[in-house]
Amino acid sequence: MIAKLGIALLGAAAAWAGLRWFEKANLYIPDRQLTILPATFGLAYENVDFTAEDGVRLHAWFVPASTAPTKGSPTARTLVMFHGNGGNISHRVDKLRIFRGLGLSVFMFDYRGYGHSNGSPSEQGTYLDGAAAVRWLKENKGLEEGALVYYGESLGCAVAMETALHHPPAAFIFDSGFTSVLEMAKAIYPWLPAKYFLRARYDNLAKAPKLKTPLLVAHSPEDQIIPFAMGHALFDAAPEPKEFFQLRGGHNDGFLETPDYAQAFAAFLKKHAP
């Protein structure tokens, strides 16, 4: 009897460990190798190492606008890029060039476990990483939240959302984000009892009504990963001022397939964060 109970407990533990691995493997797909640098395209940049509140060392690039800001001096807006769940900052250099072309400085950082950042990703860990990025900009560039624009893509929308609730920026761009991890799990794996084992929530829909910053939601009806309806649901839940921008193309190439991608963001920022 005791032996059977032990085997059952071991089986349950193995199943639980398997579910934990399955969740993390689907949620975070980091790449440790930086494949391209801003300098590849002739952009000056600063290599940044900073530390999250729990002591994890993180890595980032600060790419200044044409004139680099100095501490305490007036400056153009700085866009903080919260990237998606795959790869690292080096896979977003094309977007960096777009935002830099709008006259913005850009701060792009890797979450723990991504690129040259230490640690292993988790929901609470990525929230600490977002807060640390804002803190570094305040302490080292003299930039208060009102001088910042948050840009989130996919999973990064959730990290940016949490950061925006505690450190409201001048404007927030929510690009191809989901309502919550639970709703995503239901959409992708409808046969899984996800609500009983998911630890990560990233519940953007519950947080959206609490936003106190102008919001631009961008999403494509052709998005093959995150349903277009999720973009609309989040837009509906958020308070004014807000705008919706319909992208073209798939989840990862909408910025390339949408001809007026940069212009739409420029118009939004001119209106809400001049």
**What is the C-alpha to C-alpha distance for residues 213 and 193, in angstroms, rounded to an integer?**
35
What pLDDT was estimated at residue 3? 54
**What is the C-alpha to C-alpha distance for residues 198 and 134, in angstroms, rounded to an integer?**
28
**What is the C-alpha to C-alpha distance for residues 253 and 222, in angstroms, rounded to an integer?**
10
Contact by Cβ (8 Å): 249, 222: yes
**What is the rounded average pLDDT of the residues 173-196?**
82
Q: What angle do CA 121, 125, 127 make, to 5 degrees?
A: 120
What pLDDT was estimated at residue 25? 57
Contact by Cβ (8 Å): 166, 127: no
Please report the DSSP string for 255-270 in residue order: HHH-TTHHHHHHHHHH
Q: Is residue 91 over pLDDT 70?
A: yes
**What is the C-alpha to C-alpha distance for residues 238 and 206, in angstroms, rounded to an integer?**
10
Q: DSSP label at 110?
A: P
Which among 216, 16, 177 has a CA at the least distance from the CA of 85? 177
Highest mean pLDDT among 6-10, 75-79, 197-201, 265-269: 265-269
Average pLDDT, the chain: 88
Q: Are strands 148-153 and 171-175 parallel, antiparallel or unpaired?
A: parallel
Q: How many of the other CB atoms lie within 10 Å of CB of 124?
A: 11
**What is the C-alpha to C-alpha distance for residues 89 and 196, in angstroms, rounded to an integer?**
33
Q: What angle do CA 90, 93, 255 make, to 5 degrees?
A: 125
153 pLDDT band, cuts 50/70/90, is very high
Say which range, 23-37, 92-106, 154-168, has the weakest mean pLDDT.
Answer: 23-37
What pLDDT was estimated at residue 21? 39
Highest mean pLDDT among 54-68, 71-85, 194-208: 54-68
**What is the C-alpha to C-alpha distance for residues 270 and 29, in angstroms, rounded to an integer?**
34
Q: Is residue 76 over pLDDT 80?
A: no
What pLDDT was estimated at residue 268? 96
Rg, Å, the chain Cα set: 19
Q: How many of the other CB atoms lie within 10 Å of CB of 16?
A: 11
What pLDDT was estimated at residue 20? 42
24 pLDDT band, cuts 50/70/90, is low
Q: Is residue 165 over pLDDT 60?
A: yes
SS3 5: helix
Q: Tens digits of per-residue pLDDT, 96-148?
A: 999 999 999 999 999 999 999 999 999 999 999 999 999 999 999 999 999 99
**What is the C-alpha to C-alpha distance for residues 66 and 196, in angstroms, rounded to an integer?**
50
